[in-house]
Amino acid sequence: MTAIASIDWDGFIPATEIIPETGELIGSLVKAGLIADDGASYELAKNLDDWPTKEWAIECSERTLDPAEFVGDDALKVLQSGRISNRVKQYVASDLDSYCLSSESDELRKVVEYLIAHKDFVVGGGVLRWLQGQGIGSEKIIELMAVGLSKIADQDLRGIVSALGEPYSKLLVPGGLVHVEDRPGVRDLLDALKARKIGSVSSISPCKSEAEYKVNRKRK
């Protein structure tokens, strides 16, 4: 690495001239500006099929990786990594529907669990609706979206709540009292619906003895 850096190269060393090896070589070459920070350079690490090699290459890159460069459980590994920056983790979280296309259902559930446990990352409305389509349950969706409710557009929030099914979908239409179980994120959702006038929530009363909320709806 030091020997390479000492040579007076005119521009980047072509990726085709690099003999890839596992470890930090490829990422370090990118970080030092000796090879281009592009897909061809990342391909050197990707083709080795060694996560620590890819992990360091991702961390050393300043670009946003193409979702097509992710395979298998790469998205989950990126989020769980102790080396990869939150900048990278956020762009993965913001575009999960692209970065997790090759993820198995169990891996996707682990991604959701990670994002719920780590409140630093915001997931948008489009991603939440995609997760619903992938079979992620209502409880997890509510808990996940509670972190970034203020950043979800009204139209997206209405669509998400509608897809949650009852009792949540009832909150969008006029009627009588609705009982909603007290679960993580539920109060945040109820408050957002009421404050933003999405649907028909008129008042929210906690009922601790029943571990639920009694939600009054507008009559019309």
| Structural domain spans, the chain | 1-63, 149-220
Task: Determine the pLDDT at residue 199.
Answer: 96
pLDDT(3) > 50: no
Q: What global pTM score does this model have?
A: 0.86
Please write the tens of the pLDDT for every residue from 184-206: 999 999 999 999 999 999 999 99
Range with the poorest average pLDDT among 3-12, 110-119, 128-137, 211-220:
3-12
Backbone phi, then psi, for 39, in 5-degree steps? Answer: -65, -35
The pLDDT of residue 92 is above 90: yes
Residue 8: pLDDT band (50, 70, 90) is low
- Exposure on the CB side of residue 132, measured as CA atoms within 13 A: 22
Of how many residues is the chain composed? Answer: 220
